Amino acid sequence: MRTRPLKVALLGCGVVGSEVARIMTTHADDLTARIGAPVELAGVAVRRPSKVRAGIDPELVTTDATALVKRGDIDVVVEVIGGIEPARTLITTAFEHGASVVSANKALIAQDGAALHAAAEQQGRDLYYEAAVAGAIPLIRPLRESLAGDKVNRVLGIVNGTTNFILDKMDTTGAGYQEALDEATALGYAEADPTADVEGFDAAAKAAILAGIAFHTRVRLDDVYREGMTEVTAADFASAKRMGCTIKLLAICERAADGGSVTARVHPAMIPLSHPLASVREAYNAVFVEAEAAGQLMFYGPGAGGAPTASAVLGDLVAVCRNKLGEATGPGDSAYTQLPVGSMGAVVTRYHISLDVADKPGVLAQVATVFAEHGVSIDTVRQTVKDGEASLVVVTHRAPDAALSGTVEALRNLDTVRGVASIMRVEGE
């Protein structure tokens, strides 16, 4: 066994970074045995050096992250500061000065993954980022390595714990959106500004990463269709229950039926209670993978938090250190298919549409005619009248999103339709 330690630079020492440092210290002997050489925390770059960080030698702490990654004796840089800059520059600088990189930065990988992989390859370095998607759940490595000999056709999952907590509370307690969000905030599941989570930006970044790996093609954050979940109501959950469904914010990456393109999208959707994702509760994540040979696979576990995310970081650190000792690099970017990313309009799915309508004869016939004129076939219709207010709930057969958009626009122009209360896709069937 090699006795000279592999030196690790840690960029960021917040919730995740502090856990990485703690595990490196408390599990030092185990890590040494698994890697084949000791690992040493050689420097920690932070913004506030005066803050007390338990278990970390103050002499290792610096505010000069650039100088740290340029040292030349650093074997691996662990980047957990997040954001685009300075993280992007620090990572490329690390490659240039001999270090491989482990990152948890989903936004950066989703936006600039191709360029970062190219920079790593040019310098003969590794770029690993298991922790960028779904926290502790092993997902990227199974897609990139375990399923490398298979053909993945679909990835469907819950990849944001905050939104799953909120929707689960709305489902199980009958709480409204704001009430459930307030509880999530009080428990520390939601940030003071929850926009990135509830509007789907966080999940969209993860969807871009998953689609790129699963389909061996370039998928950027801008390619992902995104809808948030702030408009989901208790009435939507009541409708879902009548259909034997619940509502989840899903990331869905699909290969087209003809294999000529892929799509990636994030939006709320009704899923049957019989689907494995329907039982994912609280702040947990789960991802359902459909491959030709392997069939259906499900990955489940805590999708966020300091310790779970640090677990994924340390798994990558072990792999990268082993590669260093073997003077090799692991799997890099695989985008050989160069498939185009299709638009949301081409996506085919079912829809649940709730309409406020006039309470008079002939309304259902008018609505049905509009659906027929746009080539959208109706599966079921439920009509209710309460306190003089009438509503129609229409569930369609599978149809292109573009056809549904045209249908809704035409419905809004009917004198007998007073409003479109909600539109939601039905997935997982």
Which residues, 6 or more positions from 38, have their beta carbon under 8 angstroms from its beta carbon?
A: 3, 5, 6, 28, 31, 32
**Residues 402-428 as b or e (16 or more Cβ within 10 Å = b):** ebbebbbebbeebebbeeebbbbbbbb
Q: How do 378-386 and 389-396 pair as beta strands?
A: antiparallel
- 98: tokens are 């001999």
Residue 186 and residue 409: Cα distance in Å, rounded? 40
In one letter, which amino acid is 207?
A
Contact criterion met (CB below 8 Å) for 252 and 427? yes
Q: Among 428, 276, 275, which Cα is nearest to 350's?
A: 428
Residue 386 a catalytic site member: no
Contact criterion met (CB below 8 Å) for 270 and 351? no
Helix (H, G, I), strand (E, B) or coil at 42: strand
**Residues 245-283 as b or e (16 or more Cβ within 10 Å = b):** bbbbbbbbbbbbeeeebbbbbbbbbbbbeebebbebeeb
- 235: tokens are 């009435």
- 398: tokens are 């599978």
Strand (E) positions, 58-175?
A: 61-62, 76-79, 100-103, 127-128, 152-158
Listing DSSP states for 210-238 in one string gives HHHHHHTS---GGGSEE--STT--HHHHH
- 272: tokens are 């049957």
Compute the chain's Rg from CA coordinates: 24
Catalytic residue among 7, 106, 169, 206: 206
Placement of tokens 């259909």 in the chain: 243
Active site residues: 206
